[in-house]
Amino acid sequence: MLKFVKGNLENIDGVEVYPIFSLLVFFIFFVALFWWVCTAKKEHVKEVSNIPLETDKNDQLL
């Protein structure tokens, strides 16, 4: 199976760019996410982390 896929990919001109581009996109995404997490305000993090624990009268169906 892998030989079939590898054989087809070898015939495509410029196919070596796609793995490099994918790695670059994911690396930039995770660096940006790490930067956002490190610079997030503590009040916002505390507020968002308490959302699942809050109960609302409208949420209770019983």
Of the two residues 46 and 4, the one the predictor is more confident about is: 46
Query: What is the reported pLDDT for 6?
Result: 72
Q: In terms of pTM, does the model score above 0.95? A: no
Task: Yes or no: say if 15 and 9 are a contact pair by the CB < 8 Å rule.
Answer: yes
Query: What is the reported pLDDT for 60?
Result: 61
For residue 18 the two structure tokens come to: 């796609």
- C-alpha 56/C-alpha 31 separation (Å) is 36
pLDDT in tens, 11-57: 888 888 888 999 999 999 999 999 999 998 999 888 888 888 877 76
- Domain segments of the chain: what residues? 2-53
Of the two residues 58 and 52, the one the predictor is more confident about is: 52
Nearest to 48 by CA among 62, 37, 59, 58: 37
For residue 16 the two structure tokens come to: 């070596």
